[in-house]
Amino acid sequence: MKSKVVLASDFGKDFLWGVAIAAQQNEGARNVGGRSDSIWDTFADKNNKIKNNQKIGNACDFFHLYKQDIDLCKLIGFNTFRFSLSWSRILPNGTGTPNMEGIRFYNQVIDYCLEKNIRPFVTLYHWDLPNVLELEGGWTSHRMLDWFSHYTETCAIHFGDRVKDWIVLNEPAGFTTLGYMLGMHAPGRRGISSFFPAIHNTLLCQAQGGRILRKNIPDARIGTTFSCSYIFPNSDKPEDIKAAQRLDALVNRLFVEPLLGLGYPRVSNFKFLEKLEVHNLAWRHKEQMAFDFDFIGLQNYFPITVKHNPIIPYIAANEVKPKDRNVPYTSMGWEINSHAFGLITRQFAKYQNIPRLIITENGASFKDVIVDNKINDVKRIQYYKSHLTELLQLKKEGLPIDGYLAWTLTDNFEWNYGYSPKFGLVHIDRETQERTMKKSGYWFKTFLHT
């Protein structure tokens, strides 16, 4: 039986429809207007940190072309535009006096959104720590709490009169694991001696950021985001089920549960978590790690299938390709599974004290398929259709979902993968910066206008 076509209007008139971008992935203008280097600039400058040794360069030059991008957002019909602030542009020394040129840039972006009747959704931190702070220890340093508090307060003071939707952190599990445990992302550190303190300082900043925003902007809607992946055990053998529980604790529970006042997650016989909790004396800060956010942002890209494997350090598990499902993949090899998107969203919605949910990122990379000079990205359209169908089902079940933000507007700098993955609804010519709407952009336009 063919499923009913989903309409934007099925989600209600107040639903937030938007796109998300991030400063490091889009802005360019590295040394323009007093901006200092971020950890990503320094990391990508080194050899072979980014696929094919690519460099960040000017990214999408959003710094100069922001009006074009906000116009595109408007043209497609989005009512919400999520972007992040570059800490190095606002506080080039990491702390201290703000750089007024940086403040002016974001004022222009915010004002232009408002002029176009688009809601600016601002992320404080999307992975681009000022490198000067990394030299002082970065996320492993206890001083992060002071640095982050000052940065948050500066942003709240300068933008809080007009920005009423705030996201404190983008995917803490992502930047701590990839950047401080596995060395694949900036700043490229590895091992538990960096990972453990980075987790704890991040948890403290996550809640503190919320408190500072609340104090400075009492009428703001404040949230923070989490990456999430439904974890499938590879079989129903008890050891695979336990492996899935361990991974679930690290991937999905580690940052949300302390925030909800539940403390660090626990899984029986999972020594790694016990060690983490003891090392960080986590119980001492149970209250400090908690904050009543107005919403939680969920970002889902793929599920993970996991198998028990005793030789893998710490987690005794490894990811495997799903054996019993005939699954499609994105160009990055990520499993496409809208059913699993539903499962993980329901898992988060079960927490008692999560008031509202917003899908703050969801999307997929596919190779450009050019037909008659047009980018005919039918697979991306299929991806969005299947995920929006699932989302509507979740809403019908009564999950408190207020919005959906697609990742992303324009093809951009995809971290250690460089520029090869294409996630955008809009293609960018890397030489000329010319923007060309893909078929998926037009699809969204029709979807949002009917």
Asked, as a colleague might, if the bond just before 187 is cis with ω within 30 of 0, I would say: yes
Residue type, 318: N
Binding ligand BGC by CB under 6 A: which of 36, 245, 299, 338?
A: 299
In whole angstroms, the minimum distance from the beta carbon of 406 to ligand BGC comes to 11
Residue range at the interface with ligand BGC (CB under 6 A); choices 167-175, 250-258, 268-276, 319-327:
167-175
State yes or no: residue 407 binds ligand BGC (CB under 6 A). yes
Least spacing, CB of residue 75 vs ligand BGC, in Å: 23
Q: How far is the CB of 283 from ligand BGC (least distance, A)?
A: 30
Peptide bond into 202 cis (omega under 30): no
Which stretch, 159-167, 168-176, 259-267, 379-387, contacts ligand BGC (CB under 6 A)? 168-176
With binding defined as CB under 6 A, does residue 440 bind ligand BGC?
no
Has 277 been annotated as catalytic?
no
Question: Looking at beta carbons only, is 95 or 300 nearer to ligand BGC?
Answer: 300
With CB under 6 A as the contact rule, the residue among 86, 177, 227, 345 that binds ligand BGC is: 227
Among 171, 257, 335, 414, the active-site one is 171
Q: Which is nearer to ligand BGC, 140 or 227 (CB)?
A: 227
Binding mask 351-370 for ligand BGC (x = CB under 6 A): ----------x---------
Q: Which is nearer to ligand BGC, 25 or 88 (CB)?
A: 25
Contact window for ligand BGC (CB under 6 A) among 134-142, 169-177, 207-215, 256-264: 169-177
Q: Which residue is catalytic, options 27, 134, 257, 361? A: 361
CA angle 88-136-209, nearest 5°? 55
Phi-psi region of 12 (alpha: psi -120 to 50; beta: other; left: phi over 0): left
Residue 125 near ligand BGC by CB under 6 A: no
From 174, 197, 258, 297, residue interacting with ligand BGC (rule: CB under 6 A) = 174
Q: Which is nearer to ligand BGC, 80 or 299 (CB)?
A: 299
Closer by beta carbon to ligand BGC, 21 or else 401: 21
Position 296 contacts ligand BGC (CB under 6 A): no
Q: Tell me if 170 contacts ligand BGC by CB under 6 A.
A: yes
Whole-Å CA distances, 71 to 65, 77, 192, 318, 440: 10, 10, 45, 44, 17
Candidates 69-77, 170-178, 209-217, 387-395 — which segment interacts with ligand BGC by CB under 6 A?
170-178
Q: Does 27 bind ligand BGC (CB under 6 A)?
A: no
User: Residue 150 and residue 143: Cα distance in Å, rounded?
Assistant: 11
| Stretch touching ligand BGC by CB under 6 A, among 43-51, 85-93, 166-174, 193-201 | 166-174
Tell me whether residue 240 or residue 335 sits nearer to ligand BGC (CB atom). 335
Annotated catalytic residue 434: no
Q: Tell me whether residue 275 or residue 430 sits nearer to ligand BGC (CB atom).
A: 430
Distance CA 272, CA 254 (A): 12
Of residues 22, 44, 113, 163, which one binds ligand BGC by CB under 6 A? Answer: 22
Asked if 171 interacts with ligand BGC (CB under 6 A), we say yes
Binding of residue 201 to ligand BGC (CB under 6 A): no
Quick one: which of 168, 153, 298, 170 has its CA closest to 223? Answer: 168
Q: Which is nearer to ligand BGC, 25 or 202 (CB)?
A: 25
Give the residues lining the site for ligand BGC (CB under 6 A). Answer: 22, 25, 170-171, 174, 227, 299, 361, 407, 414
Query: Active-site positions?
Result: 171, 361
